[in-house]
Amino acid sequence: MRNILIFLLLVFAFSSAAFAGEGINIPMVRPANAPYFVGMQTVNIYADDFDTIILSISSNIKCTARLLWASSYDPQINMPKSIWFVIDKSDGFKEYIFNVRSQNPYWTGFIKQIVVYPEARIDGIKILSAKAIHGYLLTHIWSGWREFLGPSSRIILGSTVNNMKATQLWGKSINLYVYVLLLLIAAAFFVSSYIKSSNLSLSWQNCGKATIISAIAFYVLLDLSNLINQYSPMKDEWQKFGFKSLEEKRAILVGEDFYRFTNFCRNNIPPKAAVKVFTAGPLGDYPEKRLIYFLYPLDFFAKEADYIIVTEYNKDLRTTLNENQNFRLLKKFNEGAYILCRKKI
């Protein structure tokens, strides 16, 4: 029996190496001044046969990144066709294995190009090689482990109570695997107990005890996993804010320049005055929402405004004054941020 097991392990090892050797090499290059790497493969990758991507990356910082691709069904590089992962800080090159097919349903058809987009400065990041292979058991395990610890399951997004997805494993919630394991454990204990005792009542009792104990064990493990999720942002928040004052924390949160502008507005507009905000920057209405929060109790919802706060607007001062002739410049923070007030009759 022992010899058979050794033989099977050897067969598995050699077959795994053979599968890895049959992959498609993908040269990775960084276009001039681009914040990403592009795979320049000479042939299209058939997604059904080559379901796994292996990247060899070195980085002098830890950051999140996206593996994206274009396919014959959708030639655009976009977020739905992507995998979010963490690049670790490392002195040498480290392998990152993705069973793409299990993690994203859009890995299908012929893959025409891949892109690696680090969500941080790219200068300290290098990609030695990339390869598409037919995945096997070990690559599937390593891919699942990286996914389990990856940002999709571990990084808190947004600011609501529903800001964290369930931990993922091979594209599915970890809870699904827990339910399946509980059913298997219950069935195994019931069958094992019944074979030994031929007592149906005792078998149900043993089955119930094993299921309850297993459920408690899984609950503890999942709760530990959740504590890891909470620890990471708590550590980051502490490093960012620490013992800083409320003013310093607010400046860090919205940007020092914008926070100085809110103080500028507070010092130059009377309390409870009726105001309006003109903004048309890349952040949409984000500046207005922040101003409403920081400048309370100013009235931002009055029909007739006595003051206009202008920031990140798409028109210059002269045009803005021409379009609002009942207003004059009260005070300027900088060329793109200032306050207008209604002219006195």
* Cβ atoms of residues 181 and 214 within 8 Å: yes
| Helical residues (DSSP H) of the chain, grouped into ranges | 2-21, 100-103, 137-148, 151-154, 174-197, 200-241, 246-254, 256-268, 286-294, 317-323
SS3 state of residue 152: helix
In a domain, 5, yes or no: no
Pick the last residue of a domain from 212, 239, 266: 239
Edge to edge, what strands does the sheet with 24-25 contain? 24-25, 125-133, 52-59, 90-99
Residues 210, 305, single domain; the answer is no
Residue 299 has what pLDDT?
A: 93
Determine the angle formed by the axes of helices 174-197 and 200-241, rounding to 10 degrees. 150
Share of the chain above pLDDT 70, in %: 89
Average pLDDT over residues 214-243: 83
SS3 state of residue 177: helix
Residues 80, 208, single domain; the answer is no
Pick the last residue of a domain from 196, 213, 239: 239
Please tell me the distance from the alpha carbon of residue 112 to that of residue 46, in angstroms, as a whole number.
Answer: 9
Identify the weakest region by mean pLDDT among 1-10, 66-75, 305-314. Answer: 1-10
Give the Cβ contact number of residue 336 at 10 Å. 15
Average pLDDT over residues 247-251: 88
Residues 217, 262, single domain; the answer is no
Residues 220, 258, single domain; the answer is no
Residues 225, 261, single domain; the answer is no
For the stretch 79-89, pLDDT in tens is 899 999 999 99
Please tell me the distance from the alpha carbon of residue 16 to that of residue 54, in angstroms, as a whole number.
Answer: 14
Pick the last residue of a domain from 127, 154, 181: 154
In a domain, 234, yes or no: yes
Check residues 339 and 42 and name the one with the higher pLDDT: 339
The 8-class DSSP code of residue 176 comes to: H
Q: Please say if the pLDDT value at position 13 is more than 80.
A: no
Q: Please say if the pLDDT value at position 343 is more than 90.
A: no
Determine the angle formed by the axes of helices 246-254 and 286-294, rounding to 10 degrees. 170
Residue 56 has what pLDDT?
A: 95
Q: Please say if the pLDDT value at position 99 is more than 50.
A: yes
* Cβ atoms of residues 91 and 50 within 8 Å: no
Which residues span the domain enclosing 280? 250-342
Residues 302, 211, single domain; the answer is no
Residues 29, 136, single domain; the answer is yes
Please tell me the distance from the alpha carbon of residue 259 to that of residue 317, in angstroms, as a whole number.
Answer: 21
Q: Supply the CATH number for residue 72's domain.
A: 2.60.120
In a domain, 11, yes or no: no
**Side chain identity, residue 136:** Y
In a domain, 33, yes or no: yes
In a domain, 235, yes or no: yes
For the stretch 262-292, pLDDT in tens is 999 999 999 999 999 998 866 667 788 889 9
Query: What pTM, to 2 d.p., does this model score?
Result: 0.59
Residue 135 has what pLDDT?
A: 92
Identify the weakest region by mean pLDDT among 30-34, 112-116, 270-274. Answer: 30-34
Q: Please say if the pLDDT value at position 151 is more than 60.
A: yes
Residue 11 has what pLDDT?
A: 47
Check residues 161 and 135 and name the one with the higher pLDDT: 135
Residue 220 has what pLDDT?
A: 92
SS3 state of residue 127: strand
Residues 43, 145, single domain; the answer is yes
Residues 6+ apart with CB under 8 A from 280: 312, 313, 314, 315
Backbone dihedral region of 255: left (phi > 0), alpha (psi from -120 to 50 degrees) or beta? left
Residues 80, 205, single domain; the answer is no
In a domain, 77, yes or no: yes
* Torsional sign, CA 331, 335, 338, 343: positive
Q: Please say if the pLDDT value at position 14 is more than 90.
A: no
Residues 257, 323, single domain; the answer is yes
Q: Predicted confidence band at 34 (pLDDT cuts at 50, 70, 90)?
A: confident
In a domain, 150, yes or no: yes
The number of distinct structural domains making up the chain is 3
Question: Rg of the chain over CA atoms, in angstroms?
Answer: 29
Please tell me the distance from the alpha carbon of residue 20 to that of residue 54, in angstroms, as a whole number.
Answer: 10
Residue 230 has what pLDDT?
A: 75
Residues 139, 34, single domain; the answer is yes
Average pLDDT over residues 53-58: 95
The 8-class DSSP code of residue 224 comes to: H
What's the mean pLDDT when you consider all of the chain?
Answer: 86
Please tell me the distance from the alpha carbon of residue 81 to that of residue 253, in angstroms, as a whole number.
Answer: 31
In a domain, 254, yes or no: yes
Residues 23, 91, single domain; the answer is yes
* C-alpha 220: how far from chain center: 25
**Side chain identity, residue 316:** D
For the stretch 303-338, pLDDT in tens is 899 999 999 888 899 999 999 999 999 999 998 899
Average pLDDT over residues 61-85: 91
